[in-house]
Structure 1
Amino acid sequence: MRVADGHGLYEIKVPDVGEGIAEAELTGWMTTLGAQLREDDVIAEVMTEKAAVEIPTNVSGKVLYLGGDVGDTLAIGSTLIVIEVEGVGNTSKEDLARKLAGSATATASTPAKTHAQAAKPVSSPKVVKPKAPAPIAGQRRAEGEKPLATPSVRKRARELGVDLRRVLGSGPAGRITHEDLTHFHETGGQFSGALAKRPQRTGETEEKVIGLRRKIAERMALSKSRIPHITIVEEVDVSDLEELRAQLNKARAETKGKLTVLPFVIRAIADAVADQPNMNAHFEDDDSIFRKFEAVHIGIATQTPGGLIVPVVRHAEAMTLWESAAELGRLAVAAREGSATREELSGSTITITSLGPLGALATTPIINYPEVAIVGINKMEVRPHWDGAAFVPRKKMNISCSFDHRVIDGWDAAVFVQKLKMLLETPALLLLED
């Protein structure tokens, strides 16, 4: 690293964001090698187990070294960036060289190679150029090119007096089939394209999985590899719930806000786990500890532009329907804007997942490790219901609940699902205060 006279080196380390986190993933550079920085400029973004964190610089100067590539995992306290500053810095060239030489997070053994690697501030999709494609079915042959056809097709073409060089083939590699020959003969040589197959696609793209997407992948793999899931799907008649919801919104939406189905589900879960506290728990399997909670902190799986995250409605057991609705709205905005804090994205004791209007008839939700239960809400639709005398239309939806079968028995899981069903089908019970 060359440093001008009267200048020093200033090292910024990967910050300690608390909660015992030992490493962070570098998910983005906001600067490049050789760039001039001003104090308080954001230089990088890192992702921890809890949230994304933007890192600013507290000095002005020129970027001399970047401590990794996007997608690298960096140890807390390792060198993130080195800046040439006016006057005295906070490290010497010799100390920095020794540190980088012995650091497990150094990206190369020589500064030249490290700089070349670190000069890539943003990881972008890699486009793999396709090889030259084979002839496509239905593609016209070049002039003078011999038509492809089986002996039987050639014999029939001679009998019909058809010049196969004028026939467009729809078979593999443009091979002329009997259907192609018949179509050509019957249409007087006018090829409509009806028999042509769609062109083959041969391109590929490669994109590195980093940041939130990688965290989601790791969490899903952890959950599925360690938790033996049992899933129960039950149909719920929500006609009365929808009628009550419409009445409450008509009477109180202007003063208390609009209710969706989700606050009713939250209240039903809070009431159900009061009878079955084993559902509102964590199984810390490394230490064989089954930790049950009195507080009901419900995670809400939320789709954002960056991927799926789980903000938490805390103390749902103490909330009214309207309070949980307001908190849901606030958390959804924070999640989608990327402003949710680590505290708002951690600490859930049981989770709800829903695909909203895109929902299917049934799903098999994956448990949010180390929780032991998750409730999936599927799409609502009008279905025929036999009332004993005739079929009548009723609004129904399925709930899909998954459980950790190591600590939750099938019988207890079924009891929990039936309690949810009873509460959602008798929504007036959800308005009762203890």
Structure 2
Amino acid sequence: MQIMTPDIGVDKATVAEILVSVGDTVAVDDSLVLLESDKASVEVPSTAAGVVKSISVALGDEVHEGTVLIELEAEGAAPAAEAPKAEAAPAPQPEASSVEPAPAQQAAPTSASAVVDVQVPDIGVEKATVAEILVKVGDAVAVDDSLVLLESDKASVEVPSTVAGTIEAIEIQAGDSVKEGVVILKVKTAGTAPAAEAPKAEAASASASVKTEAASQAAPVQTGAMEIAVPDLGVDKAAVAEILVAVGDTVEKDQSIVVVESDKATVEVPSTAAGVIKAIHVTLGQNVSEGIALVTIEGQAPAQVAVTAAAEAPKAEVKAQPASAAVQPAAEPVQQQGADKLTKAQNEANAKVYAGPAVRKLARELGVVLSDVKASGAHARVMKEDLKAYVKTRLSAPQSAPAASSAVQSAGLPKLPDFTAFGGTEEKVLTRLQQVSIPQLSLNNFIPQVTQFDLADITELEAWRNDLKGGFKKDGISLTIMAFIIKAVSHLLKEEREFAGHLSDDGKSVLLRNEIHMGIAVATPDGLTVPVLRNPDQKTIKQIAVELGVMGQKARDKKLSPKDLQGANFTISSLGAIGGTAFTPLVNWPQVAILGISPATMQPVWNGQGFEPKLMLPLTLSYDHRVINGADAARFTNKLTKLLSDIRSLLL
């Protein structure tokens, strides 16, 4: 028998990998070929058990629905007979009336245990893409638990389970294109009562939907101002996630005007008339329910403005509603809900981020701005795992994070002027690392900072380093002058403990740390990061050199953990050989001091009788003047220059 390309939701796809060879024995559902399009990667399963007789495609071939992929010689009649039965089962579906449930939602025969096929319900569009699979094999699910997130160009929809049981098999993959009737997964259930209840509710809602549509079509046509109201969304209330029109806009019939969002679906509400928007009656974040006026339109439309959600919202999620549901006189803003921890502005920002309803709901409950979360899904889609990883990182971050956020708000600059008249602008988005650094850097506005400059004679130290670096290089170790500077500074910090301390919250004392943990600024393609070197005072020059190399590589490879960035009580920032003569580094709160290192240069130095060429290293010590006085800073840099000019003094 021939195994052909199924309907994969695109016109054509490329053969990316052939997973079997001639002579292989395959079972039903074993993957045969991996196909790739610009939308998804799909493994094509075998529809029968048997032996691979021939392979009709090659790597790189473009195939479409119906293209022969594999020639299979069936092992026996039984497996081959099962597949047609399974395919034939949904066949009676076209004969069902428009208000009857899909075959997947009908009750299975009464038995102690049964496997029920859960199919794609009528989602109001011809096909949709599987954006996220919310369960895995072995999971226990209840009736109405969300199983799969589907997306079309109009809505994101979570498909609920019609039965309670255990996931037996998942028949689709993320990125697959599916349509009504396609089997999503198989659920093993011990009882069939829940499966029988869901069709009743859906049949009732579908019947009501048909009646509403008939009433709408039969209504007379009127002109003038009319209100477009919230249609039956299948839920008690939903939040306004986005307003797609403005007063004065001209809209066509069926054009989307508002995006509303519930726990189960994100739905674009269409206009039931063509005309001009005269007024908008809702705001972002507002909770609305069926019958609430959204906008007023001047134009021509059916007098009956109640709209069914059949074209936008999935019928599978519509629940039976009382026929005489009362219209709420007003809606409360979403911020008043106990679970919502976001401001109106933050909800507005979240509406612009590509994410599913479940992710948006979780973000509201956790108080997360989705634009801060790094997206890993297709087309920059934020997944649940991304949100959880972001929250985990924030929870393990230093406790100063909330203070940083409030500091930025209170010290905010005015908005930029309009540069249109001066040639305009081009936007270059900051890297994620740069963006998250802004709150921490802004804290420097609250530190009365002074910078002390000095020069260290490192002529002999550099000569010694050159003698040593050959041997270090044989061991794969890069010996830089930074290793010696770190050792000298850590030695000095044991004497001058205030420089590695912290100003107390009440401003009445200095908290002296018992250990030295030194932050070392590292430049990466994404921006500056500061990993922490632990207890350098207890390590040799060689150990420090090894850890510097490891730390720098981890920073550039983006493999630093949150723990690698925490706990520093002094920082060193070096420009290395990049250039410049001096700079004033910013104190990294809650620290009180930071040392800047600029490139060393040969300079003439007076020895009392004449000038000698000396390799001089510029040092800049920035410090919090509330904790450290100018005399203290001058004494610190003076001691450091002596240590660097004769490193042997560390042994005394």
TM over 0.5: yes
CA distance in 1, matches of 2:525, 2:346: 37
Q: Does 1:105 align with 2:179?
A: no
Q: How far off its partner does 1:352 sit?
A: 0.2
1:220 is aligned to 441
1: CA distance between counterparts of 2:566 and 2:434? 17
Equivalent position SS for 1:206: coil
Q: How does 1:28-177 map to 2 (within 5 A)?
A: 36-37=131-132, 61-62=148-149, 84=158, 87=161, 101=334, 102=337, 103-105=340-342, 117-119=352-354
Deviations 1:75-99 (A, max 9, x none): xxxxxxx872563799x96698787
Do structure 1's residue 285 and structure 2's residue 372 form an aligned pair? no
Q: Distance in 2 between matches of 1:380 and 1:264?
A: 14
Find the aligned partners of 1:109 and 1:294 in 2 and give their Cα distance: 41
Q: Which has the larger radius of gyration?
A: 2
Amino acid at match of 1:105: L
Aligned to 2:584: 364
CA distance in 1, matches of 2:508, 2:157: 47
1:207 positional shift: 4.4
Question: Shift of the alpha carbon at 1:423?
Answer: 0.5
Give the secondary-structure state (helix, strand or coil) at the position aligned to 1:424. helix
CA shift, 1:390, in A, is 2.8
Q: Tell me what 1:398 maps to.
A: 618
Distance in 1 (CA, whole Å) between partners of 2:428 and 2:516 is 39
Identity of counterpart residues, as a percentage? 29
Letter in 2 for 1:417: T
1:97-146 residue CA offsets vs partner (Å, 9 max, x unmatched): 78783324377999xx99963349669xxxx9967xxxxxxxxxxxxxxx
1:285 to partner: Cα distance: 3.5
Post-superposition CA distance 1:49-97 (Å, at most 9, x none): xxxxxxxxxx9732669xxxxxxxxxxxxxxxx872563799x966987
- Tell me what 1:230 maps to: 450
Write the distance in 2 (CA, Å) between the matches of 1:129 and 1:34: 42
Query: Which of structures 1 and 2 has the larger relative contact order (alpha carbons within 8 angstroms, sep 6+)?
Result: 1
2:430 maps to 1:335:
no
Once residues 499 and 541 of structure 2 are traced to their aligned partners in structure 1, the CA distance between those partners, rounded to angstroms, is 21
Aligned residue for 1:374, secondary structure, equals: strand
Matched, 1:259 2:479: yes
Q: What SS does the aligned partner of 1:357 have? A: coil
Question: Quick one: which of 244, 252, 259 aligns to 2:464?
Answer: 244
Contact 1:277 1:294 in 2 (8 A): no
1:288 Cα offset (Å): 4.8
Over 3 Å counting, the alpha-carbon distance change for 1:230 and 1:117 in structure 2 is closer
- Contact 1:7 1:84 (C-alpha < 8 Å) held by counterparts: no
Match of 1:151 in 2: none
What stretches of structure 1 of length at least 5 have no aligned partner?
Answer: 9-32, 41-58, 66-81, 132-200
Alpha-carbon distance in 1 for matches of 2:527, 2:130: 31
Q: Which of residues 532, 537, 543 in structure 2 aligns to 1:323?
A: 543
Corresponding residue for residue 275 of structure 2:
none
Q: Is the 8 A contact 1:244 1:427 kept in 2?
A: no
In the alignment, the residues of structure 1 paired with residue 590 and residue 525 of structure 2 have an alpha-carbon distance, to the nearest angstrom, of 25
Check whether the contact 1:7–1:88 (CA below 8 A) recurs between aligned residues.
Answer: no
Q: RMSD in angstroms over aligned alpha carbons? A: 4.0
CA contact (8 A) 1:228 1:405 kept: yes
1:50 matched to which residue of 2?
none
Q: Aligned ranges for residues 373-392 of structure 1 at < 5 Å? A: 373-392=593-612
User: 1:34-60: CA deviations, max 9, x gaps?
Assistant: 6623579xxxxxxxxxxxxxxxxxx97
Q: Determine if contact 2:150/2:159 at 8 Å carries over to the other structure.
A: no
Partner in structure 2 of residue 269 of structure 1: 489
The 1:345/1:7 distance shift into structure 2, 3 A limit, reads farther
* Whole-Å separation in 2 of the counterparts to 1:401 and 1:407: 14
- Alpha carbons of structure 1 residues 268 and 60: separation in structure 2 relative to 1, 3 Å: farther
8 Å CA contact 1:256–1:322 kept in 2: the answer is no
SS of 2:626's equivalent in the other structure is coil
Kept in 2: contact 1:374–1:401 (CA 8 A): yes
Whole-Å separation in 2 of the counterparts to 1:269 and 1:418: 12
Partner of 1:12: none
Describe the superposition over 1:354-390 as per-residue Cα deviations: whole angstroms up to 9, x where unpaired.
Answer: 1111242111111010101101001111111223333
Unaligned residue ranges in structure 2 (runs of 5+): 1-101, 106-117, 121-127, 136-145, 165-233, 240-261, 264-284, 286-333, 356-378, 382-417
Matched letter for residue 481 of structure 2 = V
8 Å contact from structure 1 (residues 230, 402) kept in 2: yes
Name the aligned partner's letter for residue 553 of structure 2: V
Could you say if the C-alpha distance between residues 364 and 116 of structure 1 is closer, same or farther in structure 2, counting changes exceeding 3 Å? closer
Kept in 2, the 8 Å contact 1:281–1:372? The answer is yes
- Asked if structure 2 preserves the Cα contact closer than 8 Å seen for 1:423 and 1:429, the reply is yes
2:132 maps to amino acid: L
Distance 1:324 1:300 in 2: 12
The change in CA–CA distance for 1:203 and 1:95 in structure 2 (over 3 A counts) is closer
Aligned to 1:54: none
| Separation in structure 2 between the aligned mates of residue 264 and residue 387 of structure 1, nearest angstrom | 25
CA contact (8 A) 2:517 2:536 kept: yes
**Do the aligned partners of 1:276 and 1:416 also contact (CA within 8 Å) in 2?**
yes
Q: 1:237 to 1:205 in 2, by over 3 A?
A: same
Q: Distance in 1 between matches of 2:546 and 2:163?
A: 49
Quote the Cα distance in structure 1 between the aligned partners of 2:642 and 2:346: 65
Question: Helix, strand or coil: the match of 1:257?
Answer: coil
Structure 2 residue 413 is the aligned partner of structure 1 residue 413: no
Q: 1:150-178 CA distances to partner (integer Å, 9 max, x unpaired)? A: xxxxxxxxxxxxxxxxxxxxxxxxxxxxx
Structure 1 residues 64 and 245, CA gap change in structure 2 (3 angstroms): same
Q: Secondary structure at the match of 1:117?
A: coil
Q: How many pairs does the alignment contain?
A: 295
1:319-365 CA deviation, whole Å, 9 max, x = no partner? 11111111111111111111100000111010001111124211111
- Asked whether the 8 Å contact 2:583–2:598 carries over to 1, the reply is yes
Residues 257, 353 of structure 1: alpha-carbon distance in 2 compared, 3 angstrom cutoff: same
- SS of the aligned residue for 2:494 comes to helix
Distance 1:219 1:273, change over 3 A: same
Query: 2:150·2:158 contact (CA, 8 Å) conserved in 1?
Result: yes
Query: What residue number does 2:369 align with?
Result: none
CA–CA separation in structure 2 for the residues paired with 1:300 and 1:362:
18
**Cα shift at 1:266:** 0.6
Deviation at 1:257?
2.1
Alpha-carbon distance between aligned partners in 1 of 2:163 and 2:573, rounded to the nearest angstrom? 50
Report the 3-state secondary structure (helix = DSSP H, G, I; strand = E; otherwise coil) of the residue aligned with 2:556. Answer: helix
- Aligned residues of 1:301 and 1:308 also touching (Cα < 8 A): yes
